[in-house]
């Protein structure tokens, strides 16, 4: 899918290895679901390492049930520092009596191979919940994983974090801070169990910009709200969600320590990376055939616009209509109508858009004549934009989702196998 441009940003290749001083690798160490064999030689263990200690920040799932890796990572980056990320797919290491012990062991194994402190290692896991994580395949593979680290190892790493994902999700940008060229890149996994707050994802971002840990955390916390927290596929929020950022400071820019113009540029770069990753995640929703974007304008506040946009993209009836390429605008208005915020329904207008055109289907809360044939053509594209106007206010927001298909049920009916 086409990347969405952001002013001042230049897209580059490399994902988490695009920034100076970051290596990555991914291997197939042999993890498998209980009772299943590893029939596809997909990588299942990844490592990202910085050449020097980084400032670090993270945001985690709001689910009350949290995977053991989150508990360990929170402790390890409490000082705002980290240097490496170790992550596995297949098994979430969640709801296990020995979960914390296994997560700590993963950090110890990685640290021993890298010659660093285990407290400088971030750990993450994704996959099936409630099955004991076998540590032996990870231990056996760690030497090979570390020895294979390269400055262009991002493709191997991003493959290792995928579960039901069907597409690789990575992006990198370059931007200027005080006359120095800085780079930021990220990779993400996420396809199902996606819903604010947060969308089910493991997201790892690296940058060579120099920024304080406090401002790095602030930038990340702010940006999550307008990117990953505005994506929904199926209404389920995972136990293992984690987004982390490592900032190495190797670009040579003057350290960002205040909320000034450089901080704004940094946050804009983070938005460019995370917004595009969020769109990729929505497009690759389990069983999805379409990326759906809902843009709301004219609300009294941004929060009100966000609530309305989320209401539309989470409506199962609307999502099913998009799969059927049916311009059933009443389902859009229905979802707008039960959004928990104040607005005048008699001022609502709706347009359905894609690369094939823009068609108005509702004005002042009522239907207008439109060509069903043209609407069908517009909805035949794989990226659909729903524009909703609710008045003359200055509040606006965008949310992303996908259509609801037969394949979503098929995928989740036998997920463990």
**Pair 93, 190 in one domain:** yes
| pLDDT for residue 281 is more than 60 | yes
Q: How many CB atoms lie within 10 A of CB 409?
A: 11
Of residues 200, 203, 207, 250, which has the active-site annotation? 200
**Pair 251, 373 in one domain:** no
pLDDT attached to residue 235: 58
Report the greatest alpha carbon distance in the chain.
69
Could you read off the pLDDT of 58-77 as tens digits, one per residue?
A: 999 887 888 899 999 999 99
In this structure, what CATH number is given to the domain that contains residue 373?
A: 3.10.20.340
The verdict on residue 97 lying in a domain is yes
Could you read off the pLDDT of 146-186 as tens digits, one per residue?
A: 999 999 999 999 999 988 788 899 999 999 999 999 999 99
In this structure, what CATH number is given to the domain that contains residue 90?
A: 3.60.70.12
**Pair 102, 201 in one domain:** yes
The DSSP result for 341-391, as a single string, is S---GGG-EEEEEETTEEEEEEETTEE----HHHHHHHHTSSEEEEEEE-S
Could you read off the pLDDT of 384-395 as tens digits, one per residue?
A: 999 999 999 999
| Cβ-Cβ contacts under 8 Å for 260 (sequence gap 6 or more) | none
* Of the residues 256, 283, 310, the one at which a domain ends: 283
Q: Is 200 a catalytic residue?
A: yes
**Pair 239, 125 in one domain:** yes
Residue 69 belongs to domain spanning: 10-283
The verdict on residue 299 lying in a domain is yes
The verdict on residue 90 lying in a domain is yes
The verdict on residue 177 lying in a domain is yes
Task: State the first-to-last Cα distance of the chain, in angstroms, to the nearest integer.
Answer: 29
Query: Rounded distance, CA 69 to CA 103, Å?
Result: 5
- The residue ranking higher by pLDDT, 74 or 415, is 74
| pLDDT for residue 286 is more than 80 | no
| Cβ-Cβ contacts under 8 Å for 166 (sequence gap 6 or more) | 191, 284
Query: Rounded distance, CA 296 to CA 11, Å?
Result: 27
The verdict on residue 316 lying in a domain is yes
Could you read off the pLDDT of 190-247 as tens digits, one per residue?
A: 765 556 666 568 999 999 999 999 999 999 999 999 999 998 766 556 678 899 999 9
The structure's pTM equals: 0.90
Query: Rounded distance, CA 283 to CA 296, Å?
Result: 19
Tokens standing for residue 132: 């004991």
Q: Tokens 């819903």 appear where?
A: 195
**Pair 228, 313 in one domain:** no
């Amino acid at each position: 899918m086409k990347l969405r441009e952001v002013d001042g940003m230049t897209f580059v290749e490399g994902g988490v290895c695009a920034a100076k001083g970051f290596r990555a690798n991914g291997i197939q160490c042999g993890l498998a679901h209980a009772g299943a064999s590893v029939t596809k030689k997909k990588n299942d263990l990844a490592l990202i390492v910085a050449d020097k200690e980084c400032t670090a920040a993270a945001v985690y799932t709001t689910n009350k049930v949290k995977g053991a890796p989150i508990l360990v990572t929170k402790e390890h980056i409490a000082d705002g520092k980290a240097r490496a990320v170790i992550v596995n797919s297949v098994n979430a290491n969640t709801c296990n009596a020995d979960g914390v012990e296994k997560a700590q062991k993963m950090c110890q194994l990685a640290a021993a191979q890298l010659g660093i402190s285990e407290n400088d290692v971030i750990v993450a896991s994704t996959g099936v919940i409630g099955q004991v994580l076998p540590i032996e395949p990870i231990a056996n593979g760690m030497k090979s994983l570390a020895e294979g680290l390269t400055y262009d190892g991002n493709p191997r790493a991003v493959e290792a974090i995928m579960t039901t994902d069907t597409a690789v999700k990575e992006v990198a940008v370059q931007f200027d801070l005080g006359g120095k060229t800085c780079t930021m890149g990220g990779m993400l996994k996420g396809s199902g169990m996606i819903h604010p707050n947060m969308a089910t994802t493991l997201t790892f971002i690296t940058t060579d910009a120099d920024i304080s840990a406090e401002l790095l955390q602030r930038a990340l916390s702010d940006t999550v709200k307008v990117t990953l927290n505005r994506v929904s596929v199926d209404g389920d929020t995972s136990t293992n969600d984690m987004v982390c950022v490592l900032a190495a400071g190797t670009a040579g820019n003057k350290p960002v320590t205040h909320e000034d113009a450089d901080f704004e540029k940094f946050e804009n770069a983070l938005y460019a990376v995370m917004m595009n990753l969020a769109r990729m995640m929505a497009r690759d929703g389990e069983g999805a055939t379409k990326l759906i974007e809902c843009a709301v304008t004219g609300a009294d506040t941004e929060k009100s616009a966000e609530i309305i946009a989320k209401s539309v993209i989470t409506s199962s009836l609307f999502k099913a209509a998009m799969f059927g390429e049916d311009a059933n605008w009443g389902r859009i208005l229905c979802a707008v109508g039960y959004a928990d915020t104040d607005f005048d329904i008699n001022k609502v207008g709706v347009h359905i858009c894609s690369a094939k055109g823009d068609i108005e289907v509702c004005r002042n809360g009522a239907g207008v004549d439109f060509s069903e044939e043209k609407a069908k053509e517009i909805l035949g594209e794989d990226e659909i934009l729903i524009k909703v106007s609710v008045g003359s206010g200055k509040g606006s927001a965008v949310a992303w989702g996908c259509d609801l298909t037969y394949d979503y049920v098929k995928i989740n009916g036998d997920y463990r196998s």
